[in-house]
């Protein structure tokens, strides 16, 4: 998955020289194939403009998102001639970790970056999930949604960082019309009633 892919090698298919340009498009394509277990390899930092969801992938039960082994393709062009599958971008440099980052325009009530539904397992490895706190603060925007809402299972592996997500309380009318302060959810992981987190590694700030 590479947000800057310009289609020079044809329509996105998920192959490393024809990557999808958004994480949601990759999830939707996985859903269209009715795959139950899949991987999304992130070739470059990407902004997330809305909650990632499984609505178009009802059969997807296990998804792993991680930094790609290959760097972004840039202007690289390939053909469908014999040898095509031997052509690929440069290897990713050592110790590079790509980001899924909240778009500065994505804020408001209960706007988590990723929603892990019931009966689905999401595994994160060698990836940063970034709340973009500085951009939202600069724009004067407030947020009440965590980075990840977990109703299924979240697996945190080596090289994972959950960072930069600042949440606020909000005021809503109660049943009698009086204002009621609703405390914010956790900034990193919002656990649903049946949610589960398995953390073998990872950091949070």
SS3 41: strand
pTM recorded for the entire structure: 0.86
91-126: pLDDT as tens digits: 899 999 999 998 888 876 667 899 999 999 999 999
pLDDT at 133: 81
Residue from 195, 110, 192 nearest 154 by CA: 195
Q: Evaluate if residue 80 carries a pLDDT over 80.
A: no
pLDDT at 10: 87
60-71: pLDDT as tens digits: 999 999 999 999
Question: Longest C-alpha distance within the chain, in Å?
Answer: 71
Give the mean model confidence (pLDDT) for residues 185-194: 86
Beta strands in the chain (DSSP E): 37-42, 46-48, 62-67, 98-102, 114-116, 121-125, 127-130, 148-150, 153-156, 161-163, 170-173, 179-182, 189-191, 196-199, 203-204
22-49: pLDDT as tens digits: 999 999 999 999 999 999 999 999 999 9
At residue 170 the predicted structure's pLDDT band, cuts being 50, 70 and 90, is: low
Chain-centroid distance of CA 22 in Å reads: 9
């Amino acid at each position: 998955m590479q947000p800057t892919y310009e289609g020079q090698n044809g329509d996105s298919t998920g192959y490393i020289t024809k990557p999808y340009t958004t994480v949601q498009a990759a999830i939707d394509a996985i859903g269209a194939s009715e795959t139950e277990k899949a991987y999304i390899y992130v070739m470059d930092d990407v902004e997330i403009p809305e909650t990632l969801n499984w609505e178009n992938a009802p059969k997807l039960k296990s998804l792993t998102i991680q930094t790609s082994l290959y760097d972004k393709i840039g202007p690289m062009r390939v053909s469908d001639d014999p040898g095509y599958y031997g052509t690929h971008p440069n290897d990713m440099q050592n110790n590079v970790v790509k980001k899924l980052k909240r778009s500065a325009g994505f804020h408001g009530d209960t706007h988590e970056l990723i929603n892990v539904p019931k009966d689905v397992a999401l595994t994160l490895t060698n990836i940063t999930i970034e709340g973009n706190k500085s951009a939202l603060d600069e724009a004067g925007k407030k947020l009440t949604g965590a980075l990840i809402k977990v109703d299924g299972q979240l697996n945190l592996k080596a090289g994972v960082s959950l960072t930069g997500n600042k949440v606020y309380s909000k005021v809503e009318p109660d049943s009698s019309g009086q204002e009621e302060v609703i405390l914010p959810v956790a900034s990193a992981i919002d656990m649903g009633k049946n949610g589960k987190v398995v953390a073998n590694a990872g950091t949070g700030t």
